[in-house]
Structure 1
Amino acid sequence: MDAAETLSSSLEMSGKDGNRKREKSWDEAAMKAAAGAFLSGEMSARGAALKYKIPSSTLRRRLMKIIYANPERNVASSRIGRRRIFTDEQERELINFLNKVERMSFGMNRKQCRVLVYWFAESQGIPHHFSRSTKMAGTAWFKEFTERHNFHLGITRGARGPTRHFRAGLGLAAVKQFFDILGEVREEKKLTACRIYHAISMGFSTFPIREQEDASANGSNPTPDSSSIEGGRSVSVLCCASATGDFIPPFLVYPGRKLNIEFLMQSPPGSSVVLEETGSLTEIVFTAFLGHYVDHVGSSPDTPTLLLVDNQPILVSPAVIDFAQRHGIILMGFPSSVPYKLQPLSLTFVEVFRSFFVQVLDISSLSHPESRVAESELAGLFGYAFLSAAVPENVVQGFKNCGIEPFNPEFYRNISEEH
C-alpha cells in the first residue's frame, strides 16, 4: 500500500465533520476519492473539491486531520493553503504548558486556553494566523488541536458548594489533588517555610460596616460600583504573609484616576498604592503586585517561592504567568470546593482585621456622625487595623491548621470527616 492509500484509509477513522442536521451533498466515497487524488499529487485540494463536488472547506478540514496524523503532513499541508503553526515538539511543549497551568490553577475554560495558546505562539516568536484583535487561537484550530492530543479540560474546581461536592466525592478528590501538587512542588523546589506565601484580597471603605460588608471573609475581591465611589471610596487591598508569619507591606488598589496624596502618606510603611479606575484586581494590577512581592521577598529563578492565591482568572493570565516565570514565582490556586479551610489568612487574619477595622471606624465615626470618614483618614485607620491583626504567631498557626506548613498530606481526611 503506497503513502496515498495509507493516508486515504485513515480518512475512515476521522469521523464525520460535525453533527449537522442537513443532508450532505457528498458521500464518503467521493470524499475518499478526492483525498486520494490530492494525496497522490494528481490535483490540488481546490481541484479535487471541484471535481468530486465536495465543499472546499470540508475537504481541507478532512485533509488536515489526515495530514496531522501522518509523518509526511508537513509536505502536504503546504499544498492545502494553510501551513501548520507548531512543530511536533512545539505542540508537545504547548500541551505540557496547558496541563501545568490548568493543574496549578485548578481549572481552566476553553477561552482561557485559547488566550494562552496565542500568548505561547507570540512569546516563542512562532508565526501564526491567529486573530490579533481577539488575541486568541481560533475555535476551529483549537478544536482540532485538542482532538489530536486528546486534551480535555478538567473539572477540579467545579461549582461552589462544599457539602454537595463532598457527597459526590469531587471535593475530597480536589483537596487531595491540592496536597499532591503541593507535595510535588515542595520536593522539587526544596521549599522551606520562609519561601511559602499566601496572598489574599480584601476591601475596605468609608461606608459604615453595618451598611456594607467591606472586608470579605472568603478572600474574594469586591468591585465597588459607581454609587459607592461617589459616597465613599472602596479600596481593594492585597495582604500577603509567609508560613513563618512574616507579612510584606500591603498592596492597595485605589479607585479613580487621581490619587489622594494624603491617603498615600497615611498608608502603612512600605505599602504600595496603585490607581485602577474601578478599584478592581485586574491582570495589570496583579502583575504590579507581583513586582511589589518580588521587591520584598526577593524571589528569583535561583531562589523560587510558592505563592498561593485564590483567584483563578488571575492565575491563567498570560501577563501574570510570564512575570511569575521570569522571577521564580510558583503560582498555585485552591480548589473551590473548600476555599476557606485551606487558606491560612482566611482562618487567622481576615476576621481579626475586620474586627479591628470595625472598632476603629466606629470610634472615628463618632467625631463626624453625619458624614463619612475622610479619605485622608482612611489609610491611617486601615494601617492601625492591619498592624493590629498581622500577628506572626496567628499566621504560623493558620498555615499549620491548613496542613500546608508543616506539610500534612493527610489533612484532606480531616475535611472529609466534617462533611
Structure 2
Amino acid sequence: MRKKQVKPTKVEGHYRRYSPESLLKAFEAVKEKKVPVKRAARQFDVPENTLRDRVKGRIDAKNFCIGGETTLSREEEEVLVEHVEVMGQLGYGYTNTKLQQIAGELAYEMGKKKTNKAMSNNWLYGFMNRWQKRLVSLSPRSLDSYRAKCSTPEAVSSYFRNLQDTLKRYDLLDKPQNIYNLDETGLQPDHRPPNIIAKLNSKPQAITSPRSTTTTLIGCVNAIGNYVPPFFVFKGKRFNPDLMESTSSGARGEMSESGWSNGDIFKKYLTEHFLPYARAGADTSQPILIIFDGHSSHISPSLIKWARSQNIILFVLPAHTSHILQPLDVSLFGPFKSFYYSGCASFMQENVGKTITRFDMARLACKAYLKSMSPLNIQAGFRKTGIYPLSQDVITMEKLFPAEGFREENPTDKVKALKAGKEAVEEFVKLKLEPRNQAMTEAKDQSVCPTCKCSSEVQKKQTKPKPSGRAITEDSYLTELEDPKPSTSGTHISKPVTEIDKEVSDTEFEEEIPEEELCCICKKWSPPNLADHPGIKLINWAYCDRCTHCVHLAFCSSVRVVRRHTSFLCPCCEA
C-alpha cells in the first residue's frame, strides 16, 4: 500500500529584520567614525556580513532592496518617486499601468532595456514595496476642474485677509456663536447600496428607487457647534403638508418649480427660518456673520439691504473653493449623505416592494441630518477650514497644488520648487521671468501695430467687483452693485440684435469705452454682423500676441477658440 505523502508545512520567516536607516547609520559609523564593522553591526543590530559587503564596496551602500540589483538604481527610482508624488498632488496621478509604462520608457532611454515595453508586474510590486513609506495605491477623490483652477494661493490669501478684517471690524473673533455657515445640497430618492453578505461567486443585485426630481436641503451651522433645523425645497407649485410628515422638530419645507432654491426662497429662509433661531434670546445689536457661496440666487440688492437692517453680515466664499473653505462641505455633508443612503437602504429592506418617494425623503433626511450634525463634527468643520479659530495655515499648499496645472507651463517644476523651499521658489521665478522680460522688451520696440496702426497700450477696464471672498454688506459693494459697469469678458445676447439695439450700442455704450478697448478690426465693442449669427450667445475676445490688441473671435477673425499655451495673431498682424 502506497504511503500517503505528508504535505510540507510552510515555515514563516523574516528575510530582513533591520531597517534601511539602521544599515545606513552603521555604514556611516564605520566610514566616518572608524568604528569596527563587528562593533557597528552589533550596535545598530544589522547583519555583519551585509554591512561588510557595503564597506568593502561589493554592494552599493545605498542599495537596500531585497534580492538582486534592480533595473533602476536607487537614485533613479527616487527621481521617479518624486515625479509620481508631484503628479498625484497636481491631480493627475498615475495608475499602476501608467507607472509601468513610464518606468519602461525611462529604462529604455537610459540604455538599461532593449525595448520601451512596460515594466513587469513583479517590478511594480517590488518598486511599491521598496518605497512603501512614500507611495501607496489608493482611490482618489474626484475634483472638478473649476474647483482646481480657482483654488489658488492668491484667492485663499485674499479671502482670509478680508475675513480677518471683517471679524475684527464687527468684534467676532471670540464669538463663535455668531459665525454661521450656510449651504445647499441636492437629494435624490435613489441611493448607493451598501456592501451585503451574499452567496459565494454570485453577483447580487440591490433594489433602489428610481431617480427622479431633485429636492434641495438647506443646512446651517455655527462655529460653537449648534445647527439650524433643516429646510427643504421640493419641486412643485402647491405645498403639500404630507411632504413633511414625521420630520424632526423645527424642519420646514417650501416649493419651487425646479426643486432648487431661488432668490425669493433664500430670503424667506433667512427671514422666517434662520433668523428666529439665530436671534433667539440674543441681543439684536450683536452682528451675525453668515459665510456662504456666491450663487446668483444668494445675492441681490434687496437681500443685502435687508441683511444690513438686521445687523447681518453676508460674506461670500471665493468661487469654486467650497471643497476646502466651507465647513459644511468639508466635514458635514459627507457624513450626512452616508447616513442618508444608509437610511434609504434600511427603508427598502423594511418595505419590500415599495420605492422611496418625495413624501419619504424629508423624514429620512432629517434622521441623517440629526446624526451628522454633532457638535464635534461641526466644530471640526470650522477648524479644518480655518474660520474658527481663524488660521490660514490649516489650508496647506498641497490642497492648492492642482491650480498650478492651469496657470503654469511647467506645473511640476513649480510644485517641486514650492516643496523644496524659499530658495528654490526664487530660482523658479527668476527662470520664469526671463522669457517674459524679453517678450516685454520686444513689445516696447513694436509700440504700433505695423498694419492697423493702433496703439499697443491696452488699458484694463474697470468692472463691477466680484463678490467672491468678501463681505457684500459693505457700503462700497452695495453702491457698485447698483451702478454696474460694462465688462470686457463678453456680452451676453439673449436674442438677435436689432437695428435699434446696434444704434444704442454704438451711440451710448461705446462712447464710454476707450478706443483701445474696442476691437482693432471693426473698431466696435459689439460686432457689426452680430445679427447674422443668432445662435451665438457669447462674444469671445482674444489678445494678439504681437500687437497686444483685442479682436472678436468668430466675427472679425476666422479663429473661434484660442486655447491655453497657444499663440494668436489678429488678421492685421497675420497678413
> Structure 2 length as normaliser, TM-score?
0.39
Question: Which deviations, in whole Å up to 9, do the C-alpha atoms of 1:209-246 show, x marking residues without a partner?
Answer: 46xxxxxxxxxxxxxxxxxxx97453111000000110
Match of 1:362 in 2: 345
1:391 equivalent among 374, 377, 385? 374
Given that 2:213 and 2:259 are in contact with CA atoms closer than 8 Å, whether structure 1 keeps it comes out as no
Match of 1:316 in 2: 299
Q: For 2:399 and 2:258, locate their aligned partners in 1 and report how far apart those are by CA, in whole Å.
A: 39
Q: For 2:240 and 2:191, locate their aligned partners in 1 and report how far apart those are by CA, in whole Å.
A: 21
Amino acid at match of 1:344: P
1:259 equivalent among 239, 243, 249? 239
Amino acid at match of 1:406: P
Amino acid at match of 2:238: K
Amino acid at match of 1:190: D
Q: For 1:417 and 1:282, locate their aligned partners in 2 and report how far apart those are by CA, in whole Å.
A: 31
User: Are 1:197 and 2:180 matched, yes or no?
Assistant: yes
User: Are 1:161 and 2:141 matched, yes or no?
Assistant: no
1:235 equivalent among 215, 221, 239? 215
1:329 CA drift (Å): 1.5
Match of 1:326 in 2: 309
- State which structure, 1 or 2, has the greater radius of gyration over its C-alpha atoms: 2
Q: For 1:347 and 1:337, locate their aligned partners in 2 and report how far apart those are by CA, in whole Å.
A: 13
SS of alignment partner, residue 245 of structure 2 = helix
Q: For 1:231 and 1:177, locate their aligned partners in 2 and report how far apart those are by CA, in whole Å.
A: 41
Matches within 5 A, 1:66-85: none
SS of alignment partner, residue 258 of structure 1 = coil
Q: For 2:388 and 2:395, locate their aligned partners in 1 and report how far apart those are by CA, in whole Å.
A: 14
Amino acid at match of 1:261: P
1:375 CA drift (Å): 3.8
Amino acid at match of 2:315: M
Match of 2:161 in 1: 180
Question: Which deviations, in whole Å up to 9, do the C-alpha atoms of 1:163-221 show, x marking residues without a partner?
Answer: 4456xxxx1111111101110110000011111000110122323446xxxxxxxxxxx
Match of 2:274 in 1: 293
User: Are 1:279 and 2:259 matched, yes or no?
Assistant: yes
Amino acid at match of 2:236: G
SS of alignment partner, residue 371 of structure 2 = helix
Q: Decide whether aligned partners of structure 1 residues 233 and 372 sit closer, same or farther in structure 2, where only a CA change above 3 A counts.
A: farther
Q: Decide whether aligned partners of structure 1 residues 412 and 377 sit closer, same or farther in structure 2, where only a CA change above 3 A counts.
A: closer
Q: Decide whether aligned partners of structure 1 residues 286 and 162 sit closer, same or farther in structure 2, where only a CA change above 3 A counts.
A: closer
Given that 2:247 and 2:363 are in contact with CA atoms closer than 8 Å, whether structure 1 keeps it comes out as yes
CA RMSD of aligned residues (A): 2.7
1:254 CA drift (Å): 1.8
Given that 1:160 and 1:336 are in contact with CA atoms closer than 8 Å, whether structure 2 keeps it comes out as no
Comparing 190-199 with 407-416, which one deviates more in the overlay? 407-416
Higher relative CO (Cα under 8 Å, sequence separation at least 6) belongs to 1
1:260 CA drift (Å): 2.7
1:333 CA drift (Å): 1.5
Q: Decide whether aligned partners of structure 1 residues 165 and 273 sit closer, same or farther in structure 2, where only a CA change above 3 A counts.
A: closer
Q: For 1:255 and 1:362, locate their aligned partners in 2 and report how far apart those are by CA, in whole Å.
A: 23
Matches within 5 A, 1:213-228: none
SS of alignment partner, residue 266 of structure 1 = coil
Match of 1:64 in 2: none
SS of alignment partner, residue 366 of structure 1 = helix
Given that 2:239 and 2:255 are in contact with CA atoms closer than 8 Å, whether structure 1 keeps it comes out as yes
Query: How many matched pairs?
Result: 240
Question: Which deviations, in whole Å up to 9, do the C-alpha atoms of 1:104-145 show, x marking residues without a partner?
Answer: xxxxxxxxxxxxxxxxxxxxxxxxxxxxxxxxxxxxxxxxxx
1:312 CA drift (Å): 3.1
Given that 1:300 and 1:329 are in contact with CA atoms closer than 8 Å, whether structure 2 keeps it comes out as no
Question: Which deviations, in whole Å up to 9, do the C-alpha atoms of 1:311-331 show, x marking residues without a partner?
Answer: 331343123212211211111
Match of 2:288 in 1: 305
Report the structure, 1 or 2, having the larger helix content: 1
Q: In structure 1, list runs of 5 or more residues that go unmatched.
A: 1-158, 211-229
Given that 2:230 and 2:366 are in contact with CA atoms closer than 8 Å, whether structure 1 keeps it comes out as no
Q: For 2:189 and 2:147, locate their aligned partners in 1 and report how far apart those are by CA, in whole Å.
A: 33
Given that 1:254 and 1:275 are in contact with CA atoms closer than 8 Å, whether structure 2 keeps it comes out as yes
Match of 1:341 in 2: 324
Match of 2:364 in 1: 381
Q: For 1:342 and 1:204, locate their aligned partners in 2 and report how far apart those are by CA, in whole Å.
A: 22
